[in-house]
Amino acid sequence: MIAGFFNTVGYAGPWASNAWPTPPVFCDREAASMTMRRAMDQVLLADELGFDWISVSEHHYSPRILTPSPMIFAAGITQRIKRAKIAILGPLLPLSNPVRVAEELAMLDVMSEGRIVVLFLRGTPNEVLVYRANPDESREITQEGIELILRAWTEPQPFGWEGRYFNYRTVSVWPRTLQEPHPRVFSSGNTPDSIPFAASNHLGLGLSFMSLSEIKKRVELYREEAAKAGWEPTDADVVYRFFGHVAETDQDARRNVGDIKLDLGRFFGMNPAVLKRLVGDRTMDIHAMERPFLCGSPAAVIDQVGELREAGVGNMDMAFTWPGISHEQQLRSMECFASRVIPQIRAL
């Protein structure tokens, strides 16, 4: 089992509004600066503790995740860490120029000496609308963007691209990625309709914040579609992102976390009522989560990781961020997970 650390870069200061978008007046400049320093401290600790990768993501207009440009934060990481891979999970292609994304990821791969991993995502429906993209077309835009990026990384000569959503007279990406033919690529499988694309293109499958039963269904579909394409994925081809907290005992972990029913929509700045007004029924059910997190003593969390492995997951991308959990508690949880859990799950 691969153990990844998801650095959410959550705003360290208080804010008085849960509205989306969160008004910038609630952003204290010094608190934002402290957020970045703390986030980099966590990155360095994760590298020292032995996490296999450190991941960053892209979200907008909310204090929950202060990386609207994950490439910038990842560039800083490349110059600070010594061992871990850097996972960009992930660039939101409906909001981006895919050629620019291909160029920046190639730069990062060279800067990191070939340690980049990529998961391409579609973004939350509110972000897609704010950036003037059609949420009904976000899957098709993402898939065409992935095809363009993969060709840009592997084509030895300049080429033109005439697609449904992207058109370029000339594409010629410099530098080339250090990894050959390109970094490991995962594609989102959070909706079943996206899974055939990942399987048919021999891409890894990325899942996040869903129940074990849903993970199993998606992994089974992925394997069925891969068989149609003539190949057999393994658990190493599946990554799952989730929240986690580890303490010395189950009681300590529950006390630290408290009686939290985590609202994933609000975590990413998506108030359910606002989201419903924005996109109607064109969104995932953000409440259908039996276990979007792991929580407990090291022994309990090891058992929970075993359940993930049985569901077909070979890569964990774990966020230690919880509402009400202090920075110091997050660091202790990371240390406990690294010293007591990671050594036991390597063989899973």
Q: pLDDT of the chain along its 348 residues, tens only?
A: 999 999 999 999 887 666 778 889 999 999 999 999 999 999 999 999 999 999 999 999 888 899 999 999 999 999 999 999 999 998 999 999 999 999 999 999 999 999 999 999 988 877 877 788 888 899 999 999 999 999 999 999 999 999 999 999 999 999 999 999 999 999 999 999 999 999 999 999 999 988 899 999 999 999 999 999 999 999 999 999 999 999 999 999 988 887 555 555 555 555 555 445 444 444 433 333 455 589 999 999 999 999 999 999 999 999 998 777 889 999 999 999 999 999 999 988
Assess contact for 175 and 165: CB atoms under 8 A. Answer: no
Nearest C-alpha neighbor of 117 from the set 27, 5, 193: 5
| Side chain identity, residue 246 | V
CATH class of 2-345: alpha beta
- Of 339, 346, 343, 325, whose CA–CA distance to 38 is shortest? 325
| Concatenated DSSP letters of 184-253 | EEEEE-SSGGGHHHHHHTT-EEEEES--HHHHHHHHHHHHHHHHHTT----GGGEEEEEEEEE-SSHHHH
Contact 152, 102 (CB under 8 A): yes
- Lookup: tokens for 91: 């660039």
2 and 316 Cβ atoms separated by less than 8 Å: yes
- Say how far apart CA 239 and CA 236 lie, in whole Å: 8
In the chain, where the domains are located: 2-345
